[in-house]
Structure 1
Amino acid sequence: MASPRPARHRALLVPGYYDGYLQKQETKSKKLKGFWTVLRGNELFFQMTSRDPTYIEKISLDNFVSVENDESQKNSFILKLKSGDTKLQAVSLEAREEWKGFIHTVGRLEVPDMDFLPGQIHRLQDVLEEEVKRCQKTASSSLSLSPPQSGRTTPEPVQSDYDDVENDQLSCFYKISRVEAQTLLEKNVEFGNMLMRPSSDGQNLSISTLQALKNNVIVKHYRVRCADNGYVIEIEDGIFCKSRQEIVDIFIERTKGVLKPLEVTTDYEINLSIAQEDAESGELIHQKIHTATQSPTKTSTELVKAKLSPKIPVILKPKVKYLHDNGNPKEPLPADPKICQQAKPFQSNTLPALTSAFNKELNMKLMMRRTAMCD
């Protein structure tokens, strides 16, 4: 009997701080099962693929205790919560350390004291800032943040109050957070280096830019305030714009084309495939499904043959009519002239009927010959 299909749920509109491939130990079988994992807010979402908008399982970090290495298996670590421990395994040692750093930052609301590069520490600080703002925004009057050592309780996130005010949506506009914008720009340098997004307060806009110069990556964010009759770019003395497109045009013009709008093309699958779990290793295998085209029906085949086959002309033979008297054939009548015209190449060689005068002359000669022979 096939195992029941796991239930899927749609993720809420929560900013994603970190994502990657993780293997999670199942509670019953104790086997590792691979998922695409996304750290959204203070929760770990386990999905089938990176493009899947739904998730199969999630782990809340409200009761976070610590995250420690697991020396029994390579690249694995233990997520310790008050409700229990969960074993996870990353694809590499570097990925394991980054997962530990991001989980600790979100769970404890502090940047961990780990051996990270300056760029990684800067990302963790941005994540901490975004998470604190998210918690403050979603906190209700009856709920507040608890001290880190005793855990914390975070209310369910609510949808942003940000609403589109223009119908001409830009291709470089993305509803993502500051951290997600930096990650998106870093991974898609060939498609552009500037994007527009909602600001962290949910009421205004922001422009995020990235420039890669030799070994240096420079990321900047610009605030765009929404006014009653347009927008104001808060740089220098402020630049007023009537539309979002004008905002983008100003950034392109002022930088002389150095900044280009990020337009990431959407990838679609060209083959039909399904994901199956390997019984032994637990890994996901994408099996391609071959779709065979239906053969034409018998009736359609016959119609095609009839259209392609040449028409054979029908040969009409001339018909000769005879008058019968006491069963003896008499003078043949000529064939129908219409039929003779249609079948002219196949006319009969039959002699035409003799006239009465010619018959009399012939009979007279025969009688004279018989008389001469009798004499």
Structure 2
Amino acid sequence: MAAPRRVITKRRATITALPLYHSGALLKKYTGEKDFKKYYGELRGSTIFLYMDETQDTYTEKLDLHMLKSMEMDSPYVKTPTIFTLSLINEEVQLKMECPDKGEEWRGFIMTVANKEIPSKMQLLPGQIERLKQVLYDEKERLFPQTPPDLSKKSFIPCSSFLGNTQETDSPAANPPCFFDVSRQEAERMLTENPEYGNIIIRPSTSSYAVTLRQDNLSGPVFKNYRVLPIDRVLVIELDPPVTVHSLRDVLDHFLKETKYRLRPYVIPQVYDNKIEVPPMLDRSTKPVPHARVAPMIHTQTACADMPPTTPPPDPPCQTSDNNGEYIKVDVPSKPSVCTRPAKVDEELRTILKARRENLYKAGSHD
């Protein structure tokens, strides 16, 4: 069973990370091909993603409208299939719509996101025109997502505080989303490997800033680098003539306006999850064995008579050189007892010693 269309649309959004402006069936072929092929197209941002059908999650081809040079209609607006020829930088593509009304609607959306303005002559209903106005507003906000700064405040942050700081805030002096702490070679590599992310990078340079652009010409991609100098609390773009602005966001705004929004800032899209998974149950059947708590031993002094007799450890055998390797025990005098003698024994010893002294005294007197 095929997944619902809403689910498939959400899956595609996690892959492309671009807002969906318009979608529908169409036919496409390159100049020189004989037959048209059926596709399901989605206009996300300034790119048309082509799917084999409505149930396909991953796009088969894509057309970058920021490389669009012109769009011409091969047949007038009559009750016949409408065919458009899109002249891109490196190729020409023809789009065909069976219904002229659908073709006119596609033309309005394509021209709006490509030129950043609504075509003057359109045979659309008022509701469709309002939808184009909303798409134009959303696309400009996507390419340049900030409120124009108040130039009267002239807020400026020194160069040292910008280096390595890519945090976005609502302050006009905050870094634009396309600010990266990279070198010129790294910036050109980023623009080459991911052109769908944008083609403008603002980066730090030696005691200044720089703007790296990637433009697609007939001869191939061309990189250009411009220097921006901080002078007297303002930023000076080294052009002919020089342009003075008050923040890096103003620098980006100037390049977007001068290129008629054909270029867009390099912004890495963030992919969000669209499913909530239940974590696995933990096995709590085996409980940990609690550690035993033992009270500390209290050592008290006891009388020697109350203590049990202790047996001294056996003495180690001693090897001698005259007994052919046999071992004998060495007599070691035992340690004197720590215990004091009882009072009765002391009294008897004193009596015996006294008697001996008296006998010796008597014997000496007889001599």
Give the TM-score band, short-chain normalised: 0.3 to 0.5
Structure with the bigger percentage of strand:
1
Q: Report the TM-score when normalising by structure 1.
A: 0.37
Greater RCO structure (CA 8 Å; 6+ sep): 2
Q: Report the TM-score when normalising by structure 2.
A: 0.38
